[in-house]
Amino acid sequence: MSHLILQSPSLSATHVEQIAALVSASGVQELGPTAVRLLEADDAETAAVAAQCERYGIDYAFLPKIDLLREMRILAMDMDSTLVSIECIDEIADAVGRKPQVAAITEAAMRGEIKDFAESLRRRVALLEGVPESALLEVYEQRLSLNPGAERLVATAQKHGLKVLLVSGGFTFFTERLRERLNLDAAHSNVLEIVDGKLTGRVLGDIVDAAGKAAHLKALAETLGAGPEQIIAVGDGANDLQMMSHARYSVAYRAKPVVREQAAFALNVSPLDAILNWFRLSF
Catalytic residues: 78, 80
Which residues lie below 8 Å from residue 229, measured CB to CB, with a gap of 6+? Answer: 248
- The sign of the dihedral angle between the CA atoms of 173, 175, 180, 185 is negative
Task: Give the residue from 42, 54, 12 showing the smallest Cα distance to 260.
Answer: 54
The rounded Cα 260 to chain-centroid distance in angstroms is 11
Helix, strand, coil proportions of the chain in percent (round to 5)? 45, 25, 30
3-class DSSP state of 59 = strand
Q: How many CB atoms within 10 Å of residue 161?
A: 11
Q: How many CB atoms lie within 10 A of CB 63?
A: 18
